[in-house]
Amino acid sequence: MTGWADYMPQELLDAFSAETGVAVEYIGYDTTEAAIAALAQGVVYDLMVVSYQFIPDLVSNGAIVPINYANIPNARNLSANFRDLAFDPGNRYSVVYQWGATGLLIRTDLLDRPIMRWSDLWDPALDGKILLWPIPRDTVSVLLKSLGFSINTTNPVHLATALERAPDFARRLGWVEEGVDSAAQDLVSGEYAVALGWAYDALDAQRQSDHIAYITPGEGTILWVDSFVIPAVSAQQALAEQFIDFFLRLDISALVTNELAIATANEVSWPLVKPEFRNSEVIFPSLATLQRAELELPLDPITQAMYDNI
């Protein structure tokens, strides 16, 4: 199985192996693009955790197979909010693993004025002090948001503006190093004052420093969803589905959230989540935050090429 590095608790893998007698090798990746490229080059995975926006292409390319829900009775535990989503109508090919919102981590003691919006990233005082992850679509989304555009814009004027401004933006950025699983250390050290991050980054950083705030910018946040998919090359589809069903048990889904500080879509498990996590709007964003949020949608080939240029 493959997924983001440090994204699958060893306790879960050990529990599955103890129950089934099947050893699970979890191979961590740094980007979904890298895992999909490895799959295309012949690497065999029996199960993958991928970012949702890649699922339509995986389906159209025949790289993943439909899921047999007869083997996943615990799918009934998923919240209705995470069924029949636009990137996989009817959930034919994917089952949501974890989800959350994207925000900004701020070193409040290093700034002369608060940061409240994506557009504040253009403040000259932040030159060289902004840290992003080397994830192509997320980087373009941050740039588009900072310019006041939708992360899914197909407007050629918006995209031309973003392309024109991209070099200036890039010169002001630093990048999380490969193999690093949290932006916390670069904020705690003071090397950067602002970092793109998620709930686990925020909690990790705040455990180490009293000077770190987490905000969802006023223009609206970017939602993310990671899902299980089963590659067509797998000879173990039923076993992969058994693993998904195991994950969707109440205690196991709660274990993952309690271990990773990332929201689960298994709403039946929420009473087993630590109260401080269950009641945290950093981990489980408020309805108001969700109503102003966007998902990164699949792009048509022409628009995708423009995003790639940016």
Q: 117-162: per-residue pLDDT in tens?
A: 999 999 999 999 999 998 889 999 999 999 999 999 999 999 999 9
Alpha carbon of residue 23 to chain centroid: 26
Query: Looking at residue 204, what is its pLDDT?
Result: 86
Greatest alpha-carbon pair distance for the chain in Å reads: 57
pLDDT at 304 over 80: yes
Residue type for position 39: L
Flag whether pLDDT at 199 surpasses 90.
no
Position 227: which residue type? Answer: S
Per-residue pLDDT tens over the stretch 279-298: 999 999 988 888 899 999 88
| C-alpha to C-alpha distance for 89 and 298, rounded to whole angstroms | 13
Q: At residue 187, does pLDDT exceed 80?
A: yes
Decide if pLDDT at 184 tops 90.
Answer: no
Q: What is the pTM of this model?
A: 0.86
Query: What burial letters (b/e) apply to 103-123, b meaning 16+ CB within 10 Å?
Result: bbbbbeeebeeebebbebbbb
Cα separation, 109 vs 112, in Å, equals 8
Closest CA to 199 of 243, 272, 259: 259
Check the CA dihedral 257-262-264-269 and report its sign.
Answer: positive
C-beta of residue 58 within 8 angstroms of C-beta of residue 64: yes
Give the separation between CA 271 and CA 251, rounded to whole angstroms: 10
70, exposed or middle or buried, with CB in 10 Å at 0-12, 13-18, 19+? exposed
Q: Are 155 and 179 in contact (CB under 8 A)?
A: no
